[in-house]
Amino acid sequence: MKGESLPIPDDLLARLKEIVPAAFTEGKLNVAQLQKLLGDQVYAAPELYQLTWAGKADAYKQAQTPATHTLRPDREASVNWSQTQHVFVEGDNLQVLKVLQKAYGGKVKGIYIDPPYNTGSDSFIYADNFATKSGRSQAERRQSGHSNWLSMMFTRLLLARPLLREDGIIFVSIDDNELANLKLLMDEVFGEENFIDYFCWAKSETPANLSRKSKKVVEYVLCYQKNKNSEKFKGIQKNSTSSNGLLNQTNKPGTLVFPADVVTTRLEDGVLPKGSYGTDRYAIDLLEDTEVKGGLFIKPVVLRAKFKWSQPKLDDEISRGTRISIPTSKLSPSYEKLVYDKEVPPNLINAKVGVGTNENASAQLEALFGAKVFDFPKPPGLIKYLLGFSDDPDGIFLDFFAGSGATAQAVLEMNQQDGGNRRYICVQLDEQIAPTTRAFQQGFRTIPEITRKRLLLLHEKLTAPEGAKGKDTGFRYFKLAPSSFQVGQGESGRIDKAKQLALFSKPVNDRALRLYRLWELLLRTGIPLSAVVNEVPVEEAVLYEVLPEKMLYTLDTITEAVLKKAIELKPKAFICPDALFQFNEIDKSHLQLTLQDIGIDFRSI
């Protein structure tokens, strides 16, 4: 194991080879051959419409560079480690997104991020060394403005897209400083055909009076879907006590049969003979006699008119409890639903849809902490509203610019409201807090400390009374760290096999180090950070059983006893570090064949 992940382009090449095998020569992509196969679909002109900036090529390389880090669990900083499905990660989100690819590729339902706005006044610390690679100084890099910001966002968005499910959505908050650039950038990463809308959020009811031209009342949220589909987005629930007519002038005449003892009326008791009724605008024919008694049609009402609904639609609405009324002798029917479907959300987000402002969010956060610890937090209500557009009560939701933890709170509150089992993954850079701030005075030294404190306070606030079964409010805490398997390289740049072997030449008794190495193996093989791991002691060794995936791992020498126990557990796969075999390919091949004969996949990494 080299302590680094596989290069991300390998996945793209593998998928391309499945689709167009004729474009590969001796296992490598033949670009000229691919161009011939595509014919006129290739746009080879030297000038084309695109977004470009200083450092874009380096940004591509940065995104494609394999991860050399891993995530180390911190059980002491976690809450309810054994039961919780929620995850908080401290570390640079660029590296964290790379580490998450194997375990979470294609599994995330929704992403919300609130990245730096590049206003000039915010502390922009995601430099990633794009500018310095071309020889510029740190001071010059800070002045590079748009280019540095675009490179930072480009790498992270490139890595975020593969994590989304096919129906997954992403929301990115931004203001007017980078709105235009962000739209073009996201068009490139997600495809402009997958753009949903600019949502305008009313961020303040008391905007600053500093500008001579306009008061800044709104910020923007760009929304894209990984693959735009026909799903109807859901906004707020419609509440209406007014009745709705069932006739529509542009529709063709049709016949509806309203069942007996269903339709209410204000007509007096008696028989209504078949014939022509209607209004000035609509012709309505009663095709059969009917009868009214006690404010109800006690016989079927068979009408012919220009109806909005078909017979199956009418029957379905009645079965759902929709009230049907024919109040007058005009025999014009109307309906009133007990429960309306959620409306498609408007692209203006304000108090009318139940979403507060920055001022509301600041007051709520201050009330939770007992002091002001974070500037301009987003209201959890905004994030709940957005994620609800295309929700999955069992989905995974990601925020890799977690800040004070508003997305985590939004997910927890959504679960409390509807009993869902949504899971959050929040990632926050280990960003230092300035000594001049209120947060520093309150004892906080980094932003992740604020995030974790919020998660703790929410856990205490939302935890069910003793004895009651409540929702999951805990979290697993992980930190980005160098690979536990990383060793030095020789002059040729190759991994030093002797040093790699020494890592596993004798048992590791340090429990923390074993835990770090185990989780690195789990992540490399696609096991999520919320996985349940059972320890199975075997003499001086330990087997690690991952359920429900039915995967088995070991970090120890595979003795006869270890192998026997592994076979008893009947896993789908048995996985260990390659160095356990002391680079003896014969022993490894023998073990692989032994396990394959009884239906167990064996892998060494």
In the chain, the number of structural domains is 4
In a domain, 399, yes or no: yes
Amino acid letter, 11? D
Amino acid letter, 412? L
Residues 224 and 366 in one domain: yes
Residues 532 and 504 in one domain: yes
Average pLDDT, the chain: 88
- The answer to whether the Cα torsion of 123, 129, 130, 133 is positive or negative is positive
Q: Tokens representing 44?
A: 């080879």
Planar angle of CA 290, 291, 293, nearest 5 degrees = 160
In a domain, 487, yes or no: no
Determine whether 146 is exposed, middle or buried from the number of CB atoms within 10 Å of its CB (0-12, 13-18, 19+): middle
Residues 582 and 463 in one domain: no
CB atoms under 10 Å from CB of 545, counted, come to 17
CB atoms under 10 Å from CB of 161, counted, come to 19
In a domain, 60, yes or no: no
pLDDT band of residue 119 (cuts 50, 70, 90) is: confident
Residues 83 and 224 in one domain: yes
Determine if the peptide bond prior to 548 is cis (ω within 30°).
yes
- For the segment 396-426, what is each residue's pLDDT rounded down to a tens digit? 999 999 999 999 999 999 999 999 999 999 9
Residues 328 and 354 in one domain: no
Residues 222 and 299 in one domain: no
Residues 92 and 196 in one domain: yes
In a domain, 56, yes or no: no
- For the segment 209-241, what is each residue's pLDDT rounded down to a tens digit? 777 788 889 999 999 999 999 999 998 876 655
Q: Given 336, 359, 387, which residue is the final one in a domain? A: 336
Q: Are strands 28-29 and 24-25 parallel, antiparallel or unpaired?
A: antiparallel
pLDDT above 70 for 475:
yes
Q: Given 336, 371, 388, which residue is the final one in a domain? A: 336
Residues 326 and 446 in one domain: no
pLDDT band of residue 6 (cuts 50, 70, 90) is: low
The domain in which residue 514 lies consists of 497-604
In a domain, 204, yes or no: yes
Q: For a pLDDT cut of 70, what percent of the chain falls above it?
A: 87
Determine whether 334 is exposed, middle or buried from the number of CB atoms within 10 Å of its CB (0-12, 13-18, 19+): middle
- For the segment 281-310, what is each residue's pLDDT rounded down to a tens digit? 999 999 999 999 999 999 999 999 999 999
pLDDT above 70 for 377:
yes
In a domain, 341, yes or no: no
Residues 148 and 172 in one domain: yes
Residues 224 and 100 in one domain: yes
pLDDT band of residue 548 (cuts 50, 70, 90) is: confident
pLDDT above 60 for 134:
no
In a domain, 488, yes or no: no
Residues 303 and 353 in one domain: no
In a domain, 219, yes or no: yes
- For the segment 304-346, what is each residue's pLDDT rounded down to a tens digit? 999 999 999 999 999 988 899 999 999 999 998 776 677 899 9
Residues 220 and 257 in one domain: no
Give residue 126's pLDDT: 60
Answer yes or no: are the C-beta atoms of 111 and 164 closer than 8 Å: yes
- pTM, two decimal places: 0.80
**CA–CA separation, 181 and 51 (whole Å):** 8
- For the segment 562-595, what is each residue's pLDDT rounded down to a tens digit? 999 999 999 999 999 888 876 677 788 889 999 9
